[in-house]
Amino acid sequence: MPAQPNKPQPAQSKAPQRSLLARFAIPVLGIAAIAGAFFAAPLLNIETPPPAVAQPATQQQAINRPGLSGEDFSALSKRLMPSVVNISTRQTVARGDGLPAFGPNSPLNEFNDLLGRGQGGLRRQSSLGSGFIIDASGYVVTNNHVIDGADEIDVNLSDGTVLPAKLIGKDEDVDLALLKVESRSALTPVPWANSDTADVGQWVIAIGNPFGLGGTVTAGIISARNRDISAGSYDDFIQTDAAINKGNSGGPLFNLRGEVVGINTAIISPGEAGGSVGVGFSVPANFAKVVIEQLRKSGQTNRGTMGITARSVDQPLAEAYGLKSPSGAIVTSVAKGGAAEAAGIKVGDLITTLNNQAIKESRDLFRIMGVTQVGAQVSVRYIRNGKQGAATVKLTGATAAAAKPAERDVAKELTNILGIKFKAIEDTDRRRRGIPASVRGVIVQSIETGSDALGKLPIGSVVTEVHFQPVSSPEQAIAAAESAKRASKPVLLQVWGEGEVTYVAVRAR
């Protein structure tokens, strides 16, 4: 099971859990320890490096890319540094043992702050992160977890200027926030890149505030695209091996043209130190800039939804729908009165494209809706009962239930019928199992040894459809299953339980 990302903990909070996946803002107390160790260390005798070995012309041409000077990143870094900022926050937290403060004349008075005594047991704490300027008028982008819960936010420019910041808006689902500062001197913004054109293997550089050290430049490549790290419903991260650490949160990942291709958000890191092992993740610019623009206009996101939950497709399910390989998302519920219902979308539809974009898995649905505003009309193509269908859906406002994909592992959906004994639903079954009168189907009474349904279909399940055919008797269920078998397809079962619909694909014996 994938590790869950840890939000930055306050300086006096409990120790972080041992998790490989971490968000990386840094408590300010960590800086003193690092800085102290640094300045106490003896000076090192650094030898002059040997002359660089001349490189072949083809390799030289590969290094001299736009934005670079010679064979290094110095010119690009110098140009971009003024656009990257350090974010510092402070907040009031409750801490202490509940005892009164030591008196002003007590020799222990200096420990009042450390123990959280006095002032009602409240104390101030700080944390650090990174950000970047996107507009000369003072708009600054960072991660939500950098500023979450802060009473005060300061933006520290590369020239040492400290500006108080106002929170314009934040999006917890995508972990982004937009700040605004007022500056007497000119600010240097950076442009967004088209992250869709960013390829694996391309050079990128990260600039940020790791461990509170201030503007730090690291370089690497894009290691992978479209990463799902189970951080949320809209996971579509760019993976990079550029070194990013605690304190880099909210900082930019640049391409060699000096454009922001991503926003550094999380890392994979063993142990509690949170150091870089070359596996970092960034929110793609094309997704981020839509969210940021919405925050800029209204202070909140205006994310549309169809009012559905959906799940991804595996090989047996794909075959049951007539596909050669897994792709698309099966609709498992449709909100009553929602946009999908109004457009005629039904439970069991396998959505193949949304807004002319191919759907490979269920998270693609929600990622596309995540950058599409309320009121927009989107085209939907789907497969229903083996036939192609199309609809136009006018997106409505997102709700907590509909905004997230329902990737439920409850029934490992696979459908088949031979080897399964069914029984008709009786009144006693409805009373004992809470089956509404509106639900028609058959109950799974037993599953024979050797049936593909073993471990997939719980005993007592209510099967309402077999291979797209509504059933209300064991005979109907078996007949529909045999029809699927003759077509050399897995048998698709629609299963009702506790008010929800799931799907199970079972191969016939």
Q: What is the pTM of this model?
A: 0.61
Kindly state the greatest CA–CA separation across the chain. Answer: 92
Q: What totals of helices (H) and strands (E) does the chain contain, helices first?
A: 11, 28
pLDDT at position 271 = 64
Helices 362-370 and 285-298: crossing angle, nearest 10°?
A: 40
Q: Is 293 helix (H, G, I), strand (E, B) or coil?
A: helix
Per residue in 64-112, pLDDT (tens digit) is 454 444 457 889 999 999 999 999 887 766 555 555 655 555 566 555 5
> Do residues 367 and 357 make contact, with C-beta atoms less than 8 angstroms apart?
no
Domain architecture of the chain: domains with CATH: 1-40+56-299 (2.40.10.120), 304-397 (2.30.42.10), 420-506 (2.30.42.10)
The Cα–Cα gap between 274 and 211 comes to 10
Name the most confidently modeled range: 19-28, 303-312, 466-475: 466-475
The Cα–Cα gap between 237 and 240 comes to 10
Q: What are phi and psi of 147, to 5 degrees?
A: -110, 0
Per residue in 145-188, pLDDT (tens digit) is 999 888 889 999 998 898 999 999 999 888 999 999 999 899 99
Per residue in 375-413, pLDDT (tens digit) is 889 999 999 988 999 999 998 875 433 334 443 332 333
Q: Is 459 helix (H, G, I), strand (E, B) or coil?
A: coil
Residue 187, both tokens = 């600010």
What's the mean per-residue pLDDT of the chain? 77
Residue 387, both tokens = 């036939």
pLDDT at position 410 = 27
Q: Evaluate the CA torsion angle 161, 167, 168, 172 in order and state its sign.
A: positive
Q: Is 205 helix (H, G, I), strand (E, B) or coil?
A: strand
Query: What single-letter amino acid sits at 61?
Result: Q
b/e sequence 179-197, b meaning 16+ C-beta within 10 Å: bbbeeeeebbbbebbebee
Per residue in 10-69, pLDDT (tens digit) is 333 333 333 455 665 555 433 332 223 333 333 333 333 444 444 444 433 434 454 444
pLDDT reading at 460 higher than 80: yes
The Cα–Cα gap between 452 and 192 comes to 51
What pLDDT band is residue 115 in, cutting at 50, 70 and 90?
Answer: low
Q: Which residues are catalytic?
A: 145, 175, 249
Identify which of 267, 285, 286, 287 has the alpha carbon closest to the alpha carbon of residue 277. Answer: 267
Counting Cβ atoms within 10 Å, is residue 497 exposed (0-12), middle (13-18) or buried (19+)? middle
Least confident stretch, 92-106, 274-288, 297-311, 349-363: 92-106
The Cα–Cα gap between 488 and 502 comes to 22
The Cα–Cα gap between 286 and 234 comes to 13
Instruction: Write down how long the chain is.
Output: 509
pLDDT at position 63 = 41
Give rounded-to-5 percent helix, strand, coil for the chain.
20, 35, 45
> Do residues 327 and 358 make contact, with C-beta atoms less than 8 angstroms apart?
yes
> What residues have CB less than 8 Å from 360, skipping those under 6 apart?
327, 328
